[in-house]
Every structure is written in C-alpha cells, then in structure tokens.
Amino acid sequence: MNYPDHLREIFEKLKNGYHISPEDDVIYAALNGERYDDYADYFAGLGFTLHKHEHDFFYFEPEAEDTASPRLAKIAVFSFILIDNIANRGLPVEPTLFSETFTLRGLPHFTLDSYRARLEQVGITDFAGLREVIHYLKNVGWAKWVAEDEFRFLRPFHRMLSKCLELAEQSGKAASEVSPIQVSGLNQAKESEDDANA
C-alpha cells in the first residue's frame, strides 16, 4: 500500500490529543494536501475519526469517556476566566486572544476573589497551577511558549473558545457566577478534549 507521507508521526501526535495546525509546518502541509481522504480512511480503519476544523487545524474525535477529565475542568475554568476578563475590559475576545502575547504573571486569574474561588474548586491555587495548564495547552497544540513566562494561543484554542462563549451566552452569567462543573460541561459537549499525556 502506498501510505501517505509522515503517517506514523501524524498518528502518534493525534492519538495523544494533539491538534495539528499551520504551526506544525511539514505534517500540517501533508494533512492539508490532496491526500487528506487517505489519512482519514487509514485512521478510520484503526477506529479514529479525523476532523478538519473550520479554523484550519486537525484532530481526532475524542472518546466519550475522555470528556470528564479533571484536567479538562482546569483548562475550562482557566479559559473561561480569561475570556470573562477580556470581555469585562471591553475588548473583542477572539482578536485579543489570538493576537496578543500573554505573560504568566500578567494573567487576571488571582485578581478577584471570585476567580480565585473558582480556581480552588478545580485545584489551582497558585501560578504553578496556571503554568501547568498552559503546559498542557502546549502539549495539545492549543498554545505555545514564546519565552519563559510568555505564551500565545494557537488556532486549535478555538475549540475551547467556542464552548466558553456558548456557555456564557446560554447562562448570561459572568465567570464568577458559573461553577467549574458547568464550565467543564464541556462534559456533555461533543467537542471535548483527550486527556493527553503531559
């Protein structure tokens, strides 16, 4: 069989929950080329569903049991607080998230008692906990470190952004009023994340 290029490397990344985006150069170009259907068919034969997101990145559909991961709850609360803070400052959420570089110490997560309370509910009590979340986002291709304490979001973060905005719209509440269970309620969403190995 004439296997498509970089098949093993692509499979290893995707099966661990990684999202392949233009940042990934060669393997992204391979998936985004004429043989996309060959990749999708090969992975389907192994029991994996390959998706191409409207924002131009690739991932495997996670299994149902992966939707309630404790790590996902941390990511969801982290993300919702950041989105809530950006909106409360009167800034456009999506352009701000994807055009700015963020610093770990400049994050708003410990600036309000309500934010701190939500973080504590998912076991985040300090900046080391926030760093752990960002490290995981890097491991799944949703963010990248650009310096020791600076990072930026990548296109695949649209998966979490869309869920957070959907939840905010449904609830009509600020992050301070939403429980971590609701935020990761994502638990019941189709687009949930694999608990990839750090």
Summarised one tens digit per residue, pLDDT across range 86-120 is: 999 999 999 999 999 999 999 999 999 999 999 99
Q: Where are the domains of the chain?
A: 7-61, 66-187
Give residue for tokens 């269970």. 181
pLDDT at 183 (0 to 100): 47
User: What percent of the chain has pLDDT above 70?
Assistant: 81
pTM, 2 dp: 0.83
pLDDT at 1 over 90: no
Q: What is the DSSP string of 108-154?
A: STTSSHHHHHHHHHTT--SHHHHHHHHHHHHHTTSEEEEETTEEEE-
pLDDT at 41 over 70: yes
Q: What is the mean pLDDT of the chain?
A: 85
Using one digit for the tens of pLDDT, what is the confidence trace for 73-82?
899 999 999 9
And the tokens for 130? 């926030």
Using one digit for the tens of pLDDT, what is the confidence trace for 169-191?
766 555 545 544 454 444 333 33
pLDDT at 197 (0 to 100): 44
Helix residue ranges, H only, 46-108:
70-88, 93-99
Per the DSSP assignment, residues forming a β-bridge with 185 are 187
Q: For the purposes of burial, counting CB atoms within 10 Å of the CB of 92, is it exposed (0-12), middle (13-18) or buried (19 or more)?
A: exposed
Using one digit for the tens of pLDDT, what is the confidence trace for 18-37?
999 999 999 999 999 999 99
Q: Sorting pLDDT into bands at 50, 70 and 90, what band is 68?
A: low
Q: How far, in Å, CA of 6 to CA of 31, rounded? A: 9
CATH entry, 7-61, from 3.40.50.1970, 1.10.10.10, 1.10.10.2250, 1.20.1050.10:
1.10.10.2250
pLDDT at 189 (0 to 100): 34
pLDDT at 191 (0 to 100): 37
pLDDT at 85 (0 to 100): 93
Task: Give the pLDDT mean for 149-174.
Answer: 83
